[in-house]
Amino acid sequence: MEQDYSQYPRHLVAVDCIIFGFDGEHLKILLVKRNFEPQLGEWSLMGGFVGNEENADEAAQRVLHTLTGLENIYLEQLNSYTEIHREPTARIISISYYALIHIEKDLQINENYSAQWFDLQNAPDLIFDHNEMVKDAVLRLRRRASTRPIGFELLPPKFTMKDLQNLYEAIFSETFDKRNFTSKINGMDILVKTDEKDMTSSKKGSFLYRFDEKKYNKKISQGFMFKM
Amino acid sequence: MEQDYSQYPRHLVAVDCIIFGFDGEHLKILLVKRNFEPQLGEWSLMGGFVGNEENADEAAQRVLHTLTGLENIYLEQLNSYTEIHREPTARIISISYYALIHIEKDLQINENYSAQWFDLQNAPDLIFDHNEMVKDAVLRLRRRASTRPIGFELLPPKFTMKDLQNLYEAIFSETFDKRNFTSKINGMDILVKTDEKDMTSSKKGSFLYRFDEKKYNKKISQGFMFKM
DNA sequence: ACAAAAGTGTTCAGTCTACACCCATGG
DNA sequence: CCATGGGTGTAGACTGAACACTTTTGT
């Protein structure tokens, strides 16, 4: 007996991307304004349907590439949202992903989507269940950020201790003591201090650091665990 | 402009369930022997297709009910597995769930599925990507078990400290010191000690405890966090 | 009386938290 | 020379880990 698949229903399957960025001060989220019905003109997550010739990860990368022009974006699958009426016009099963990107000057957002960065704090209401997706994504981001060095995905290659602390404060929505923060980071010994300084923030200037991924991987293989 | 959904492909969407149990000694997993091609006769997770009139959670509950006769099983969605060729005969997107159930004497497993409990340690190889699903589920179970009192889902309503310790040792694959374990549990103050004893394990007998869900919820609302 | 499991506290080490002053520099 | 942000150490509290003996009772 072979299984007959024709008796089972088939579903539209989409991916929706929660795109996080960091401007040095606040956690940001990239939203798009819908240019089709229903809910034309309202804000939503960037999404797209999963095609026949791609898996969901690839679909998410494609969608992100379409919007930002970037390749190999840091991406993690989150949850599936499967309520029958989660979208009013059709039953669509959606798999959510969160993405972490550097907000660089030369980042060229595709203008077709009327995309815009919002502070996570005062982002607009989103369509359908996208608010819930964002909420879930923030929780996951916090969890990941506390056990994996994913913060560096949101920073430029070189950054100051202050940048890093601002980032973690933004992610966790709490403030840290400067001395405790730096000694914790330095204690992990996964950054290299360059001999360059960022002179824009103060007269004295502050040293720039890089994340040393090689060293990190080596330490991991020796049993080290990142912990914030 | 309204979106035309007919141009997008539709997919078979399944749920696959990683069903955990506990026999007082070892973590167990309930597997079914496939009674259809392909891979007839091999072991797999229990699964089923998501219908048009149900969401994925409901599909998973339905599938579990079919197999075990139980209702309201503890269930959590895990991941989506979307590789194009993850099954050889059709493209099927699968959403995995893990379930926690008490293994009771009166549990009547549906005989049509040739289901069998295996020690997690020496479970057989599974079809497709089901081994990966199980691996992911164990990691999630550990993570959840360390921050939520889900262990009690796997135990009968009354249990001894030894049972509880055995369970956590099975979940985390490590052994704990008896004194540290009991004082940690007692310190959380979420169990009630009954005046009954389990006399089967020793001459002295050991007291039975119950999980006090009301007290737990109250403590949670006051900021308490479960931590193992 | 003895075997077998239940029950129970203390000490030590490491980690986390709170906290304040001097430094370097551009203007 | 002074205003601004950068950089640095220590003491006390707390938490997690190691560790051994007494109790109970059925046989």
Residue lying closest to nucleotide C23, CA to C1': A204
pLDDT recorded at residue B36: 84
Cα Rg of chain B, angstroms: 20
pLDDT at B1 over 70: no
**A1 to B53: CB separation less than 8 angstroms, yes or no:** no
Closest chain B residue to A78 measured between Cα atoms? B79
Cβ-Cβ contacts under 8 Å between A and B: the total is 94
Average pLDDT, integer, range B52-74: 97
Q: Best residue in A3, A82, A94, A97 to probe B by mutation, most B CBs within 10 Å?
A: A82
Amino acid at A152: F
pLDDT at B104 over 90: no
Q: Predicted confidence band at A24 (pLDDT cuts at 50, 70, 90)?
A: very high
pLDDT recorded at residue A27: 97
Residues of chain B found within 8 Å of residue A98, distances taken between Cβ atoms: none
pLDDT recorded at residue B4: 87
Neighbours of B20 (CB within 10 A): 25
Q: Convert the pLDDT of each residue in B12-26 to its tens digit.
A: 999 999 999 999 999
> Could you please report the per-residue DSSP string of A112-159?
GGT-EEEESTTPPP-STTHHHHHHHHHHHHHHHHHHS-GGGGGS-SEE
What are the domain boundaries of chain A? 12-146, 155-222
Q: Round to a whole number and report the distance in Å from the CA of A201 to the C1' of D7.
A: 14
Option in B11, B35, B89 nearest A11 (CB): B11
pLDDT recorded at residue A1: 60
Q: How close does chain B come to A177, measured CA to CA in Å? A: 23
pLDDT recorded at residue B174: 96
Closest chain B residue to A85 measured between Cα atoms? B55
pLDDT at A106 over 80: no
Name residue, tokens 């060729």: B85
**A89 to B50: CB separation less than 8 angstroms, yes or no:** no
Q: Round to a whole number and report the distance in Å from the CA of A204 to the C1' of D2.
A: 14
Mean predicted lDDT score pLDDT of chain A: 96
A200 φ, ψ to 5°?
A: -80, -25
pLDDT at A53 over 90: yes
- Using C1' positions and the CA of B183, the closest nucleotide is C8
**A37 to B1: CB separation less than 8 angstroms, yes or no:** yes
Closest by CA position to B8, among listed A15, A109, A64, A6: A15
Query: What percentage of residues in chain B have a pLDDT greater than 90?
Result: 94
A103 φ, ψ to 5°?
A: -90, 100
Q: Convert the pLDDT of each residue in A125-179 to its tens digit.
A: 999 999 999 999 999 999 999 999 999 999 999 999 999 999 999 999 999 999 9
Q: How close does chain A come to B61, measured CA to CA in Å? A: 14
pLDDT recorded at residue B148: 97
Q: Convert the pLDDT of each residue in B167-198 to its tens digit.
A: 999 999 999 999 999 999 999 999 999 999 99
Q: Convert the pLDDT of each residue in A61-74 to its tens digit.
A: 999 999 999 999 99
Task: Using alpha carbons, list the distances in angstroms from residue A148 to A101, A141, A153, A220, B224.
Answer: 16, 10, 11, 11, 25
pLDDT recorded at residue B16: 98
pLDDT recorded at residue A148: 97
Q: Is the CB of B194 under 7 A from strand C?
A: no
What would the CATH number be for the domain defined by B155-222?
Answer: 1.10.10.10
Q: Predicted confidence band at A201 (pLDDT cuts at 50, 70, 90)?
A: very high
Q: Convert the pLDDT of each residue in B28-47 to its tens digit.
A: 999 999 988 889 999 999 99
A12-146 under CATH 3.90.79.10, yes or no: yes
Residues of chain B found within 8 Å of residue A2, distances taken between Cβ atoms: 36-38, 89
d(C-alpha B106, C-alpha B89), whole Å: 37
d(C-alpha B17, C-alpha B47), whole Å: 6
